[in-house]
Amino acid sequence: MKWLLTISLIVLTAQLSCAQVKNWRFDQLDSLQKVEARDVMVFLTADWCKYCKTMERKVFSDQSVGEKINDDYWFIQFNGESQEIITFRGEEYNFRPTGLDTGVHELAETIASVDGEVSYPTLVVIQPSGDITFQHGGFLNKKSMVMILDQLALAAKY
């Protein structure tokens, strides 16, 4: 019985020590930017994307990654196939069907297109001015994410 209690306590402590990335919504950004102007980090995902789900579990749940993102960015995880109408920077964006039961959100195309294509996952950093300062399409492991966050922090100083 003591053994079971000890194991349960260890598991609970491990879960509590993970710094989850705080996820915001586009409709909250105007208010958030008034409180503190920060870059916005958008993690573009799709429901079917296995690499996206792996990044959620293994990268964004990491304590060091979570702390860096929560301290420096307004983080938004955004489904690029969402059918929700989104207003961002005063413009309205909609879902655009591209076939039977498929499509892409106009906002995903606007912020994440590279050569006219949107890929999943994509990580985008947008300054408060609206300028995109970083865009990466594809999977990032924890080590790569930490390196990118460090480089972005260094670049922000200059």
CATH numbers and ranges of domains, the chain? 22-156 (3.40.30.10)
Q: What is the spatial distance between Cα 55 and Cα 138, in angstroms, rounded to a whole number?
A: 10
pLDDT of residue 115: 86
For residue 6, is pLDDT > 80? Answer: no
DSSP 120: S
For 60-102, what is each residue's pLDDT tens digit?
999 999 999 999 999 999 999 999 999 999 999 999 999 888 9
Query: 142-156 vs 63-72: helix axis angle to the nearest 10?
Result: 30
Which residues are paired to 103 by β-bridges? 97
Q: What is the spatial distance between Cα 57 and Cα 52, in angstroms, rounded to a whole number?
A: 9
pLDDT of residue 88: 94
Angle at 55 between CA 50 and CA 56, to 5 degrees: 95
pTM: 0.85
